[in-house]
Structure 1
Amino acid sequence: MDFGDRLEALAKDVQARTTEFLDSVKQKYEDSDLDDKIDAFKDDVSDKYNKFSGSVKGKVDESDLDDKFRGFTQSLGDKYRDISDTVKTKYDDSDLDDKFDDLKKDFGGKFADFKAAFFDAKDDAAQAASETAADASDAAQQAKGAASDAVADASDAVSEAAEQAKDDLKDQ
């Protein structure tokens, strides 16, 4: 699975979990005031994720990747607080915070898995490149040795032929 596939899988997981979370909020409260905020949250997840994924496609530095993901999750947290404040004000219900904490932990776990797989793949590619370079170096050394042997054999054959020709001339 390449980097683009991993980002796409992370996006699907994040969006699916966010939709599941927001749908549970929608069902529990059945409040039209929340519907617009929930829909905006879903759109924001998609937009923020696209910005995040676009900004990290060329990144291979772990701290850059962490900073980008932190910015992505922070923007989601800001959007969530708007919904949470409305729920707390209208319904005096803190159950939503526990669910959101679970969602954040899930996102963190998914990102950690993604990051580990990404950097493992990067390390594997570097290892493969190193092995390929070593194999190429070995092949070059073998070719050099074979060429040296061929030159030595040809030189010996020429020397033998010259000796034989010299001997043949003496015999005549």
Structure 2
Amino acid sequence: ERLLVEAGILDAETDGLYAAQNLSVVHHLNAALRAHAIYQRDVDYIVRDGEVVIVDEFTGRTLSGRRWSDGLHQAVEAKEGVPVQRENQTLASITFQNLFRMYKKLSGMTGTADTEAYEFQSIYGLEVVVIPTNRPTIRKDSPDQVFLNRKGKFNAVLADIEECAKRGQPVLV
């Protein structure tokens, strides 16, 4: 609290950081702490063209146009020294389940639907039909590899890519 008073953020005469009039300060402090301690550049987000762009934790794809809420995106922007944009206000939202229920006909295709057949039936009322492959599967499943650090992991990935390139095998990274 002393640092916040010295910085002019808190008034020394108030009841402290957690007084009702300081709730917004606590909110911003929490966002700043999360931005600095948890969210990592080039892991959780990238900085591209002066903007913070979220990276999907499951696919690794960038989510242009998406922003974190509750001041977190602004805190990350401040951390990275890029222009801080105003927070978006969500006017309406809908779950995928409810969106899909609005349509009379639904269809789709994926190589992984069979494992989620129960969910497709119970949530969407859809039957999953398995279509067998035209050719035998030649995929080789290997055991998981665990590395002590990122450098070791990326060195192994690089070695694997080089080995595939020697065989003329294309690699999607």
Q: What TM bracket, shorter-length normalisation?
A: under 0.3
TM-score (norm 2): 0.26
Higher helix share: 1
Q: Using CA pairs below 8 Å that are at least 6 residues apart, which structure has the higher relative contact order?
A: 1
What is the TM-score normalised by the length of structure 1? Answer: 0.26
Looking at CA atoms only, which structure, 1 or 2, has the larger radius of gyration?
A: 1
